[in-house]
Amino acid sequence: MTTEILIRDVRSAPIPVRDILPFAIWFGLLALLAIYFIGAEQGATALVEGAYIHELVHDGRHLLGFPCH
């Protein structure tokens, strides 16, 4: 008794850069905003009044090596 196995050669088409670009820009801006809030949102460069953001990301700063005090 013989068993026949059919294997199809299925290749996916590459995704054009113009389809990826809006998502890359969006995630890049989100990453820059996150880096700002974790690394620079304190004192003279603060965009948000008070220390709420600083306290919210305080442990993340130390984890990532940003000095904050």
Q: What is the reported pLDDT for 3?
A: 77
The amino acid at residue 14 is P
- Digit-coded pLDDT (tens) for 9-43: 778 888 899 999 999 999 999 999 888 888 777 76
Domain assignment present for 12: no
Question: Which among 56, 28, 29 is positioned nearest to 42, based on CA atoms?
Answer: 56
Q: What is the reported pLDDT for 64?
A: 81
Q: What is the reported pLDDT for 28?
A: 97
What is the extent of the structural domain holding 46? Answer: 17-64
Domain assignment present for 10: no
Cβ–Cβ < 8 Å for 39, 61: yes
- How many domains does one find in the chain? 1
Q: What is the reported pLDDT for 1?
A: 64
What's the full length of the chain, in residues?
A: 69
